[in-house]
A and B are shown apart, each in its own frame.
Chain A
Amino acid sequence: MNMYRTRFILIFFIFYGFSIRAQKQYSFNSPNNPCYFQFLCFAPDNDYREGSKPFIFVIGKQGETAADAMQNDTLKNIPQFFSYMFVYIPNRGETSPEKLYCLPALAGLLTYNTYANVFCYIKDESMTVADINASPMGKYFKRVKLLKAPADPMVPTVTDTSNITNNTDLVRDFKADAIIVAGQRAKPLPYLGPPLNFKFTLSGKLVDAYTYEALPFATVAIKGKPIGTVTNADGMFTLLQVPTDTTTLVISYLGYKRTEFQLTPLLNKSSVLIEMEQQLNMITEIKVTAEREDLMAIGGENLGLVKMSPAKLNQLPNIGEKDIMRSFQLMPGVSASNESSSGLYVRGGTPDQNLVLYDGFTVYQVDHLYGFFSAFNSNALKDVQLFKGGFESKFGGRLSSVTEITGKDGNQKNMNIGGDISLLSGNAFVEAPIGKKFTFLGAFRRSYQGLIYNEIFRQYNTQQAQQTGRNNFASTVSSYFYDLNSKLTFRPTKKDILSLSVYNGTDKLDNGRNFTSSSGSFSAQIVDLTKYGNLGGSLKWSRKWNDKIYGNTLLSYSNFYSNRERSNSFSAINGVGAVTTRKFGTFENNDLKDFSFKSDYIFDLFSNHQIGAGVSATYFDILYNYSQNDTSTILNRHNFGVLTSAYLQDKIKIADGKIIFVPGIRASYFSVTSASQPYYYEPRFSATYNITHRLSLKAATGKYYQFANQVVREDILNGNKNFWVLSDGQNVPVGQAIHYVAGISYDMHDYLFSVEGWYKDLSGLTQHTLRFNTSPTHENYSENFYKGTGYSQGLEFLAQKKFGDFSGWVSYTMSKTRSLFNVYSPNYYASDQDVPNEFKIIGIYKWKKFSFSATWIYASGRPYTAPSGAYSLTLLDGTTQSYYTVSSKNSLRLPDYNRLDIAATYQFKNDQGREYGSIGFSIFNLYNRRNVWYKEFQIVDKQIVETNIQYLGITPNITLSLKLR
């Protein structure tokens, strides 16, 4: 066998061919070679492209040439072999070994040594089964047939095919295996025979080829036609009105190879399993909005949809952790200049206006460590998508945008463990199948007080200490963050999936200090403690009822808590030995609980309608307490409320899928405002017009309400803070937005150009400020909530090179976000998050196992308000008091923001080319630009001391990632 193979490889061969009608003639090797002969190739469909067809070698009768063999062959006329390649071999030599001598070599040549789907049909009556078994033919050919052979099941006899009317057996014998694979592991085997079924419904599931992790929100489309669908959260899809059962599907999923898969009549049309293979050699592919050339209609109706592949994030520069939320900030329309917030500022919206769903439950705060990192561990994530505006009726309760995150279910095939270690944190995960029906995934991450952690912590707290002048105190810093993701998935039947997902993340930031006087009679304790985190979980049941109905029902709990104390307590022992303690400072406690039930259904009842409907109910319990000097409570709110909602939407495709409309309505009942306004209706509408397969126009509009809001508490001297409260319809109104979005995109194979514009009309906004004290002696600070309105408008431009050794994108966003709160000014002023110009350029270059990337960000400075002047008044008791005037609201701007980050990553790959780890080196803020986070002011002797609180300077990081598989 080895001898054969070695010799074949050494054989020098040449090819030349010319056309004789449909067949092609070739020479195998040079004339003096023992394997020199001429053979014919014949493709009944006249498609001679390499590598995609099964081969049938045909050897004619004793002494027949290749041309004779072809002429006498009737197989080629049978329709089922329409897609095969016939190879006619001359019957050479005298003995069977001589006749078969060179055939494996030729088969190897034609199949690139894969020997996939090669068959042989021998008409030489002198050859026997024993001859075949004695040769290596059986090792290279899938099946060998002898025309006149005994009834041997291994080598079945084939009768004269010229008169066959029922050719089922013949087809079966030469039929290629129905290998349903995608990607490079094995090429899809085409069936190019005549279709047997027309206009049928195809259902299936899309999974990762190695882990069998279901792939959600992938596009499955019919090649060359604007017909397609998107897999649901469990990777399942249903395609209605598939034209024929020989149609080719085109499957795209971010981070995976785009795959074409040809259907055959042999497939089970109700449960096709399609395996997708990750792009092993492709570096980060970040795909924006539109699909590739032949997929324009698919998912393209989702205006402003951005997807990112969590698995590929390690290619981008980072501060210390690959981070999905940070990476989204590199997209047009999402602000990137706010290092201290992992929450997304989308199109003039604030992070609380962005709905973050993790496995179905709402996450109310996504920050770790002052917001430098997000709460999401990318090792536990499978899919993330961001809807930047005009989102569909399925989502509610937010004014701006939606970030939908799907966690991994866990490897269904093998146990896998892995982890990362960086200068910031350690991270480990384990995933495994438990029996045949369960899978488990757990991921844990914890910071350690290494270089980066301390740098960020110092950055924030040293400045605090300087400003308070207390840096001479002994510091007992103990700070960390951790998060834990776990998910147990149970698949009792092929149609049902039950999953329990639990997330817990906590940050503890302690900058407290103690001081004791030398005599021991006096001690002071400075408490500067912030502890916050999330605890959430969901139990989800998904069921594909049949080809046309899919639904999932979810029970969830989400809790966000934040405790902040900045206080000084002084203890003194008085004359009679009693200890007296006095405490000064601020105490803040925010605790939000969300108990939810949701049920969503998708009905694929008609080919041009996809109906979505669902109901949900949420019970809110939101507490906010803010007090000063351990006695005076400034604000103490504890609100409860029930929000119930239902929605109905229809995705209508007309003009052969070129035009898509999605009208929808969402209706909600909010118990808190039941007396004044119990019902809230949110009509929404989006439309897509695919002018050509490259060029499409999209537009969307809709109304949006928000019932739980993060209210900004204005703090001019120390920077604004915010807290969650439930709308009460009075002091804190229900937020409302109307979106108008339109866009145009031109999508070429490698490049994408898109322009999107938006206008958002906002009302029911709330701010809290103590700057205007309407009733100074009242203890009722609820009067200090102020209502306002606003708007945001802008244009986003994107040019992206999607594939190739060099990829990346350039984006520019111009926007204008204005607020109107009469308490500040009768005129509109620039909102806190207003960034008029933002430019981003991201480049990624792949070289062998390395990838190099760089990102550069430029953004206009954000507005702020500052003390502008001082004056003194003599009061009635004769004392003199100083007062301060403040600039017009947000009339000043921080310096413009800019930053360059670079990264290099080396991938470790096994023999199969599969990545099992990487080592990455990145430098954040390469040219050490001291960007300003915010300003703090101290007023000392009528002079103002202004301190720039800066973002991080140059920060290198190294990350090592390894996994078993």
Chain B
Amino acid sequence: MKKIIFYLLWVVFVTACKKEAADPEFIDKPVIESYLRSGDTARLNVSRLVSYSANAQYSSDNLDALQIFISTNNTSYQMQPKGNGNYIASNPLLKISAGSIYNVSFTYNGKGVSATTVVPPKPTGYAESVSSISLPQITTSGGGFGGGTQPTPITLTWTNNDGSYYLVVVENIEINPVLINTTETGPSRSFRNSPIQTNTFQIRSRQFHYFGWHRIILYHLNPDYANLYGNSSNNSNNLTNTETGIINGTGIFTGINADTLLLNVIKQ
């Protein structure tokens, strides 16, 4: 009996002292930002993660001396560093085209970093319900809401048979735009909504801050880009590990394709 107890105690003390190999809190991974636009040159930016830990161990890799390759159709092209972590695939043979698959790879912190994406096709059937709207200028504070009748929203439509992700970005392109509400100071010239999987979108007149011509860009997206939205606020429920599809790295490496319409906001 005593022997059994001593044996058990021995087992306990031996095993109790065994340390498990814990995952390190911070792993130095490269942050990639690259949007492959149809018809454009491949561009990519590499940056470092900012660690919350004072004891973070960073790799010695030089962000401007990485051997980054982009490949498509079994051909690989080395990207050229342009400083500040920017790289460009200057080879004229590499033109981003819809439907093609692109792969990027390099070594960082001793690990192979890679990502793959496909460039979606250009949106089709893109149309707007009106090409101009008229709005009154607002010059007094506090009266911005509720007064008067609002113009009918602008309806954008396009073809979306496969539930693809689309994003609408509205951008004022005037050189000297005039504010709709003169009491506002420096509102953004562009606005957007989160990616959607429908084939229609309405822009309410209240969303405009400036008079004049606007570019209404419809982006056709991959799901990984859509994941970047709604995931970034400090609200913990939205604290997400965005699924970027980048192996041993983070950020975004995605193909996009876009179509553009114009809309004029006229002062009443």
**What residues make up the interface of A, taking CB atoms closer than 8 Å to B?**
574-576, 578, 580, 586, 628, 634, 695, 715-718, 744, 746, 753, 755, 770-777, 795, 797, 812, 814, 830, 836-837, 866-879, 881-888, 891-893, 937-939, 942-944, 946
- Chain A's closest residue to B234 (CB) is A939
Q: Is the CB of B230 within 8 A of A773?
A: yes
Q: Is the CB of A944 within 8 A of B52?
A: yes
Contact of A875 among B12, B47, B228, B251 (CB under 8 A): B228
Contact of B16 among A837, A884, A937 (CB under 8 A): A837
B204 to chain A, nearest CB (A): 17
Residues of A within 8 A of B22 (CB): 891-893
Q: Identify the 7 closest CB pairs spanning chains A and B, nearest first.
A: A717-B236, A891-B23, A888-B23, A869-B49, A944-B52, A871-B31, A877-B192
- Chain A's closest residue to B192 (CB) is A877
Q: Is the CB of B49 within 8 A of A634?
A: no
Give the CA-CA distance A877 to B56 in the complex, in Å.
33
Given contacts A574-B142, A576-B147, A877-B169, contact A891 B251 (CB under 8 A): no
- Chain B's closest residue to A938 (CB) is B234
Contact of A882 among B195, B197, B226, B232 (CB under 8 A): B232
Residues of B within 8 A of A879 (CB): 188
- Chain A's closest residue to B52 (CB) is A944
A348 to chain B, nearest CB (A): 15
A207 to chain B, nearest CB (A): 39
Q: Is the CB of A866 within 8 A of B25?
A: yes
Give the CA-CA distance A776 to B222 in the complex, in Å.
12
Residues of A within 8 A of B1 (CB): 695, 746
**Supplied contacts A777-B195, A866-B25, A876-B167, 16 more A-B pairs, CB within 8 Å:** A575-B142, A717-B239, A755-B8, A770-B237, A776-B194, A776-B226, A776-B230, A814-B15, A868-B51, A870-B52, A871-B50, A871-B250, A875-B228, A876-B225, A891-B23, A893-B22
Q: Is the CB of A718 within 8 A of B146?
A: no
Q: Is the CB of B243 within 8 A of A772?
A: yes
A461 to chain B, nearest CB (A): 18
Q: Is the CB of B25 within 8 A of A887?
A: yes
List 14 interface pairs A-B (beta carbons < 8 Å), by A numbering: A575-B144, A586-B237, A755-B8, A770-B240, A776-B226, A777-B165, A836-B16, A871-B250, A873-B252, A875-B228, A876-B169, A885-B241, A939-B234, A943-B52
Give the CA-CA distance A885 to B217 in the complex, in Å.
30
Given contacts A772-B241, A772-B243, A891-B24, contact A795 B194 (CB under 8 A): no
Q: Is the CB of A772 within 8 A of B234?
A: no
Q: Is the CB of A878 within 8 A of B190?
A: yes
Interface check B199, CB cutoff 8 A = no
B84 to chain A, nearest CB (A): 13
Given contacts A772-B241, A883-B228, contact A891 B25 (CB under 8 A): yes
Residues of A within 8 A of B8 (CB): 755, 795, 797
Residues of A within 8 A of B252 (CB): 873
Residues of A within 8 A of B52 (CB): 866-870, 943-944, 946
Q: Is the CB of B143 within 8 A of A887?
A: no
Q: Is the CB of B167 within 8 A of A870?
A: no
Q: Is the CB of A871 within 8 A of B239?
A: no
Residues of A within 8 A of B24 (CB): 891
Q: Is the CB of B237 within 8 A of A628?
A: yes
Contact of B49 among A770, A777, A812, A870 (CB under 8 A): A870
Classify the interface of chain A: helix, strand, loop or mixed: strand
B45 to chain A, nearest CB (A): 9
Q: Is the CB of B23 within 8 A of A797?
A: no
Q: Is the CB of A870 within 8 A of B50?
A: yes
Give the CA-CA distance A845 to B191 in the complex, in Å.
73
Give the CA-CA distance A364 to B45 in the complex, in Å.
53
Residues of A within 8 A of B195 (CB): 776-777
A579 to chain B, nearest CB (A): 12
Give the CA-CA distance A535 to B61 in the complex, in Å.
62
Residues of A within 8 A of B142 (CB): 574-575
**What residues make up the interface of B, taking CB atoms closer than 8 Å to A?**
1, 4-5, 8-9, 11-12, 15-16, 20, 22-27, 29, 31, 33, 35, 47, 49-53, 56, 142-147, 165, 167, 169, 171, 188, 190-192, 194-197, 217, 219, 223, 225-232, 234-243, 250-252, 256
Q: Is the CB of B227 within 8 A of A773?
A: yes
A244 to chain B, nearest CB (A): 34
- Chain B's closest residue to A884 (CB) is B239
Q: Is the CB of B232 within 8 A of A883?
A: yes
B217 to chain A, nearest CB (A): 8
B258 to chain A, nearest CB (A): 8
Given contacts A717-B236, A877-B191, contact A871 B251 (CB under 8 A): yes
**Which residue among A715, A774, A776, A937 has the maximum number of chain B CB atoms within 10 Å of its CB?**
A776
Give the CA-CA distance A473 to B130 in the complex, in Å.
49
Give the CA-CA distance A776 to B147 in the complex, in Å.
35
Given contacts A795-B12, A866-B25, A891-B24, contact A777 B226 (CB under 8 A): yes
Residues of A within 8 A of B143 (CB): 575
Q: Is the CB of B241 within 8 A of A886?
A: yes
Give the CA-CA distance A946 to B223 in the complex, in Å.
32
Q: Is the CB of B239 within 8 A of A867?
A: yes
Contact of A877 among B33, B190, B226, B242 (CB under 8 A): B190
Residues of B within 8 A of A628 (CB): 235, 237
- Chain A's closest residue to B31 (CB) is A871
Residues of A within 8 A of B256 (CB): 876
Q: Is the CB of A871 within 8 A of B47?
A: yes
B163 to chain A, nearest CB (A): 10
Give the CA-CA distance A795 to B239 in the complex, in Å.
37
Residues of B within 8 A of A770 (CB): 237-238, 240
- Chain B's closest residue to A827 (CB) is B23
Q: Is the CB of B239 within 8 A of A881?
A: no
Q: Is the CB of A771 within 8 A of B239?
A: yes
B18 to chain A, nearest CB (A): 10
A521 to chain B, nearest CB (A): 9
Residues of A within 8 A of B27 (CB): 868
Contact of A716 among B15, B16, B31, B239 (CB under 8 A): B239
Residues of A within 8 A of B169 (CB): 876-877
Given contacts A876-B169, A891-B24, contact A942 B197 (CB under 8 A): no
Residues of A within 8 A of B235 (CB): 628, 717
Q: Is the CB of B251 within 8 A of A873?
A: yes
Contact of A885 among B16, B49, B237 (CB under 8 A): B49
Q: Is the CB of A715 within 8 A of B228?
A: no
Give the CA-CA distance A716 to B231 in the complex, in Å.
14
Give the CA-CA distance A634 to B235 in the complex, in Å.
14
- Chain B's closest residue to A775 (CB) is B223
Residues of A within 8 A of B229 (CB): 776-777
Q: Is the CB of A797 within 8 A of B243?
A: no
Given contacts A777-B196, A876-B256, A883-B228, contact A715 B236 (CB under 8 A): yes
Q: Is the CB of A868 within 8 A of B23?
A: no
Given contacts A776-B227, A871-B47, contact A715 B26 (CB under 8 A): no
Q: Is the CB of B49 within 8 A of A874?
A: no
Q: Is the CB of A755 within 8 A of B232?
A: no
Q: Is the CB of A868 within 8 A of B5?
A: no
Contact of A575 among B35, B146, B251 (CB under 8 A): B146
Residues of B within 8 A of A868 (CB): 25-27, 51-53
Residues of B within 8 A of A717 (CB): 234-236, 239
